[in-house]
Amino acid sequence: MYNYNEITFKTSLGNIQLASKNKEIVSIQFTTKNLKQSNLALLNKAKKQIEEYILGQRKLFDIKINPEGTEFQKTVWKKLYTIPYGKTVSYLKLANSLNTSPRAIGNACGKNPLLIVIPCHRVLSIKKELTGFSALGGIITKKKLLKIENIKI
C-alpha cells in the first residue's frame, strides 16, 4: 500500500486539494476540506502552478502526473490533455476521434481526477453550451475556468 501525500489550499475558485503518490500528482480536486500544508516539494510546486493558472499567469503545467482510472478513461484524459489553453472541443468531436460516444466521453470527463491540469472544462456540447461538470461548484466552476482562459460561451 502506498501512502498519499496531500495539501489543501484556498483559491478564488474555492479550496483545492492535491494528492501525490510516488513523486507524481494523482489528484487535483475542488473540496470543502480544511486547509492543510505540506513540506513536499512536488505538492508545493503543483500548488504554485495552479495558483499561477488561476491568476492567468500560466498556460502549461510542468508537473509529473499519473491519473488513476480505467484504460479507456486514461485514453480520454490523454486526449483532453492535448486541448490547447483557450480552446474548446465538443464531446462529439472527441468521441469521433476516439471511435466512441459523446456519453462515454462525458463519463470519462466526470471521473477526471486531475482537474485543471487535464482540462475537461474545455469540453462543450456541439452547440457550445455548458453541460455537466461534476466538480464541486458544477457549471459555475466550469464557467470560471473558461473565463480564466478568455473563452467566451
Helix (H) or strand (E) holding 19: strand 14-21
Virtual torsion, Cα 85, 88, 92, 97, nearest 10 deg: -30
Q: Which contacts (CB < 8 Å, 24+ apart) does range 41-45 have?
A: 42/5, 43/5, 43/6, 43/7, 43/18, 44/7
The Cα 123–Cα 90 span in angstroms is 5
Q: Scanning the structure block, which residue is given the C-alpha cell 480564466?
A: 148
**Joined grid coordinates for residue 23:** 513523486
120 is catalytic: yes
Q: Catalytic residue among 43, 65, 117, 120, which?
A: 120
Catalytic residues: 120
